[in-house]
Amino acid sequence: MEKDAAKWFAGYKGEQSIDYPLTFLPSNKFYIRHGLRLFDGSHYFQIDTLILSWDFFLILEVKISPEH
């Protein structure tokens, strides 16, 4: 249970750590969504951060070491 909690916390801290740098992206060129839960027709899946622009879609899955 401690390992699961450490993994969850590392994921949470990773997601939080990416929020600040993303504020530098111009909001008129990038659309940013956090914590998406989507359905593919048979299963649900989660995306930490999705960055959309006219040129690309970028999925971010950020984790940091539990030691941090």
Could you give the CA distance from residue 62 to residue 11 in angstroms, rounded to a whole number? Answer: 7
Specify the pLDDT at position 68.
Answer: 53
Task: Provide the whole-model pTM.
Answer: 0.69
Specify the pLDDT at position 2.
Answer: 79
12 in Cβ contact with 67 (< 8 Å): no
Specify the pLDDT at position 5.
Answer: 72
53 to 5, 31, 66: CA distances (angstroms)? 34, 6, 32
57 in Cβ contact with 43 (< 8 Å): no
CB under 8 Å, gap of 24 or more: what pairs does 51-57 form? 51/22, 51/25, 53/29, 54/29
Residue 17 has pLDDT above 80, yes or no: no
Of 11 and 22, the one with more pLDDT:
22
pLDDT in tens, 23-67: 999 999 999 999 899 999 999 999 989 999 999 999 998 776 666
